[in-house]
Structure 1
Amino acid sequence: MTPEGKRLLNIVILGFAFMFMFTAFQTCGNIEQTVLISFNSTDFHGTGYTSMAIIYGVFAASNLIAPSVVAVIGAQLSMFCSGLLYSAYIAMFIYPFTWSFYTASVLVGVGAAVLWTAQGNVLATNSSERTIGRNSGIFWALLQFSLFFGNLYIYCAWRGHDVITDKDRKTVFISLTVISLVGCFLFFLIRKPDSEPSSSAGEVTESLLQAESNDSSASYRSVTAHMKSCKMFVTKEMLLLSLCIAYTGLELTFYSGVYGTSIGAMTRFGQDAKSLIGLSGICIGAGEILGGGVFGMLNKCSRFGRNPVVLLGLVTHYIAFYLIFLNIAKDAPVATQAGTDLVVMFPRYSVGVMFLSLQR
């Protein structure tokens, strides 16, 4: 196999590994609050919302040290260890305890920062300026399929279930844990490319994750990577991007945890309410793939630059969230196991809203 073929194979393996891992994790995040509401234990006092807040708060803070970790132990081992933390978080739901729930939330937040930093390193070192766009597209397409497969399983498994029993919970989370572990071990199939492609993305990543080649000190590489990442953070471009990134974080929180929980709490959907959480996730995944392709082509072909694409995305968001506002009861995100009986304006069209709530 040619060096170019080996690098492409690495990207495909990377995409499949993330697809398996996030089939498990994103499905877990979509259903966890609904599962915990149905969990009958007087000793458990955790909530999915608090867990997600901890995960993404620790995730944000840990990004400052993630480049140092990857520089010291390498991208492949970093991804594997981080993947094990994701698997441990999912497995915790088989027999949940309050202390293990929140401890796992902290650990997976750290693991997420290291995982995505290492992913960027692998993507960059296996790409050139000519192939970086293609490779990024392959990776993200495979990743977004994770929303489809996991939620399809939830839709089929929970159809007709008013309450999620202990058996339902254990069956789902044992399956998700196994799927996540498959993704972890796929990282070991990634091989170091025969030669480093000359890529601007690769140069940026290498400058963050490696010290000078004539210094083999792990501590020196760690400190250097940390200092360079801090310097990059205060650049004008990164500060401006931080505003957009902050918004996408709010949106991610909504569609990955709050929206699914709200659908499951709507008693007007009848016995299919819980299974519709899975259908929602399937539609979000379809929208991620379709929206990424359409907006990508518009951005590439537009003669007017990126502004029309951004405005189209803004209008899509306004429509989506307004329709959700009309169709989801106001207390649905915090409803108890009994759900919510509040009347909404157009309940019969709520499933259709899923198709519009997924454009990012």
Structure 2
Amino acid sequence: MGTPEVTVPVKPFYFNFGLEEDRDQAFEDAMNDSFSATLGSVTPTSVTSSRSNSEKNSCCNRKMLNIVLLGLGFCCTFGPMQICMLAQTVILNSVRDEYFTGTSTFGYLSLGITFTAMTISFFLAPALSVLAGPKNAMLIGAACLTLSISSFVRPLEITLYIGSVAQGIGCGIIWTVYGHFLTENSTLKTMGRNTGIFWVLFEIGPVSLNIFYVFITQGATTITEEMRHLLFMVLLPVSAIGICTFACLDTCLPKSSEEAEPKKLTIYKTTKSNRLLLAKEALRDEVRMAFTKEMFMLIPIFVYMGVELTFYINVFGTSLGYSRQFGDLRESLVGLHGLFVAVGQMAGGLVYGLLGGCQRKYGRDTGILLALLLHMVGFYLAYLVIPERAAFDMTSDHSLVPPSPYLALTCSFLFGFGDAGWNNPLFAVFGILYPQNPVAAFAIFQAYQSFGNVIAFAYSGAIRIPYQLLIVTVLGIFGAFGFFFVDWKIVSDEKKLKQSLAKSLVLVVDKPIRSDNSPPQSTIL
């Protein structure tokens, strides 16, 4: 009597794309694991079992909480700082007493010092992030911003210079480590959404504080000492709240070994003896990254974002405050300009966040193209509504069109909306290109942007408005084309990666195992 045939059913494992939601998620997980290591060159790996649903939900909730805390922290720290940057030329010009005598262009000098310090800070911030840790670096930066705001309560030339340097250092540190937290708490699928959530929360501070600025300056032709004290009595506590918010960030979110390789800059995994070595390595990695082809092609857009930031965050608002053609409304227009910029940034962040899936489908270049068109329209309207010499001092000159506050504020909204349009696709590209070293990538971006700020503030007090607009327009066009080149390469590499994964994954067919030890049949996709 022969031995009976024994069959053991083998559960088939299907891995296909676009059929069911769980298969899409499995492919998304595989993309997140492999695409972060290299673009276009992938070694096939086996598909491991996923974590339990409860663990996934807990991790997702912690990551979303971090994004919310990050946005609220920026809301409280950068909201007051943006008010200072926006109005400090006008505010300091109104201070004339025995301690300090302001001039019409002292604000440009102060901000030039700020962005010079910021440029240096961005290059050193990755090393500081390694030495102190991302969270501690964020707290140090927030403390520097609070210190800079306090220098405006009783303006003195020496304290204003110190405050300008502290402001630059604080901005450099925070914006660099911001990239770390955003990337650590996002995936390829959630990067666009999280960036949009962050920008909406971030802009709550500038919106509310600009409303307060408009309220206290309504009908005023100059900023009095009482107005200045009232303004900074509010800005200082709000900035201090931002420090407390950053202290609540959760940095203990390391990925498992199955999900990703260890990150070089994950400081909470290292010992004190290794930190100095890692800091040196971070600087070397940053220098190497700065000379890559992708970074080189993105330099024009980095510089453009610094030059246009200088124009809309300070020069345009100052020009409104210096234009007598707007009458008693001119001081309030400075605050209204900041308000509409913030509303535009919030609307832009929300729209670009909601359309993140569309950008993945049709390309991030469409988002950059829209931002470029919005800024071009804003620059043209600014050319029409602002007198040529309004950036230098109080002027009674008239613009090319009758003075219209509504037209001026339309420019402000377009500047803010377009700025979000530049930031969101660019930050999404950073998350794709440099997920293993986001701190260095954001540091290089911010350093070049600050360099653009320094250049723009150097000529803002000497070049008339039409020529400033011509410079920023040309830079915007070159910057957009540089981004298009990089984004098209990413899209091409994504397609190659998907094809490589499709060819390497094995579909095991439900085939019984027989007593003759014959292997199960399989089909290669």
Question: TM over 0.5, yes or no?
Answer: yes
- 1:116 pairs with 2:175: yes
Equivalent residue in structure 1 for 2:70, among 8, 14, 25: 14
Q: Does 1:31 align with 2:87?
A: yes
**3 and 35 in structure 1: CA distance in 2 versus 1, 3 angstrom threshold:** same
What CA distance in whole angstroms lies between the structure 1 residues aligned with 2:235 and 2:71? 18
Distance 1:194 1:301 in 2: 29
Match of 2:383? 325
Of 48-57 and 29-38, deviating more is: 48-57
Work out whether 1:280 is the aligned partner of 2:334.
no
Change over 3 Å in CA distance of 1:261–1:194 after alignment to 2: closer
Once the two structures are superposed, residues 258-303 of structure 1 have per-residue CA deviations (whole angstroms, 9 ceiling, x without a partner) of 1111111122222221011111111111211223444566675367
Q: Distance in 2 between matches of 1:185 and 1:312?
A: 37
Contact (CA 8 Å) 2:128, 2:279: kept in 1 or not? yes
Contact 1:298/1:309 (<8 A) preserved? no
Work out whether residues 134 and 177 of structure 2, in 8 Å CA contact, stay in contact via their aligned partners in 1: yes
* CA contact 2:200–2:350 (8 Å) conserved in 1: no
Structure 1 residues 216 and 239: CA distance shift in structure 2, 3 A: same
- 1:83-130 CA distance string (max 9 Å, x none): 111111111001111111112211221222211122222222223344
Give ranges in structure 1 of 5+ residues lacking alignment. Answer: none
* Map 1:277-356 → 2, pairs under 5 A: 277-294=334-351, 300-301=357-358, 305-335=363-393, 339-356=394-411
**AA of the residue aligned to 1:19:** C
Deviation at 1:210, TM superposition (A): 4.8
- After TM superposition, list the pairs within 5 Å mapping 1:94-113 onto structure 2: 94-113=153-172
Show the counterpart of 1:92.
151
Alignment check: 8 A CA contact 1:67 1:209 kept: no
Matched AA of 2:221: D
Q: Kindly indicate whether the alpha-carbon contact (under 8 Å) linking 1:126 and 1:196 is maintained by their aligned counterparts in 2.
A: no
Partners of 2:195 and 2:353 within 8 A in 1: no
Structure 1 pair 178/212, CA: closer, same or farther in 2 (3 Å)?
Answer: closer
Which residue number in structure 1 is paired with residue 297 of structure 2?
A: 240
Tell me the distance in 2 between the aligned counterparts of 1:215 and 1:18.
29
RMSD: 2.6
Aligned to 2:110: 51
Distance 1:39 1:203, change over 3 A: farther
Letter in 2 for 1:173: F
Could you say which structure has the higher helix fraction? 1
Decide whether aligned partners of structure 1 residues 222 and 10 sit closer, same or farther in structure 2, where only a CA change above 3 A counts.
same
Deviating more after overlay: 132-141 vs 175-184: 132-141
Contact 2:319–2:390 under 8 Å retained in 1: yes
Q: 1:50, CA displacement in angstroms?
A: 1.0
1:165 aligns to what? Answer: 224
Which piece of structure 1 moves more, 217-226 or 128-137? 128-137
Q: Could you tell which deviates more after superposition, 297-306 or 140-149? A: 297-306
AA partner of residue 87 (structure 1) = T
Cα distance change on mapping 1:123 and 1:310 into 2, 3 Å: closer
Which residues of structure 2 form unaligned runs of 5+? Answer: 1-56, 420-525
Q: What amino acid is the match of 1:33?
A: T
1:259 aligns with 2:316: yes
In structure 2, give the amino acid aligned to 1:38.
S
Q: Please show how residues 151-230 of structure 1 align to structure 2 within 5 Å.
A: 151-196=210-255, 206-208=263-265, 210=267, 216-230=273-287
Does the 8 A contact of 1:207 with 1:228 survive in 2? no
SS in structure 1 opposite 2:186? coil
Which of the two has higher C-alpha Rg?
2
Distance (whole Å) between structure 2 residues aligned to residue 224 and residue 117 of structure 1: 17
- Taking structure 2 as the reference length, what is the TM-score of the superposition? 0.63
Contact map agreement 2:121 2:172 (CA 8 A) in 1: yes
C-alpha separation between the residues in 1 aligned to 2:190 and 2:150?
37
After TM superposition, give the deviation of residue 75 of structure 1 in Å. 1.2
In structure 2, C-alpha distance between the alignment counterparts of 1:356 and 1:31, rounded to whole Å: 17
Q: Give the superposition deviation at 1:54.
A: 1.4
Q: 1: CA distance between counterparts of 2:313 and 2:399?
A: 22
Letter in 2 for 1:222: A
Change beyond 3 A, Cα 1:347–1:300? farther
- Aligned partner of 2:292: which letter? T
| Matched length | 355
CA distance in 1, matches of 2:86, 2:145: 15
2:121 aligned residue (51, 59, 62):
62
Give, in angstroms, the shift of residue 344 of structure 1.
Answer: 1.6
Following superposition, the deviation at residue 15 of structure 1 comes to 0.8
Provide the TM-score with structure 1 as the length reference.
Answer: 0.90
Structure 1 residue 214 displacement after superposition: 7.8
1:70–1:118: 8 Å Cα contact kept in structure 2? Answer: yes
Q: Tell me, in whole angstroms, the C-alpha distance in 2 between the residues paired with 1:197 and 1:127.
A: 15
CA contact (8 A) 2:135 2:249 kept: yes
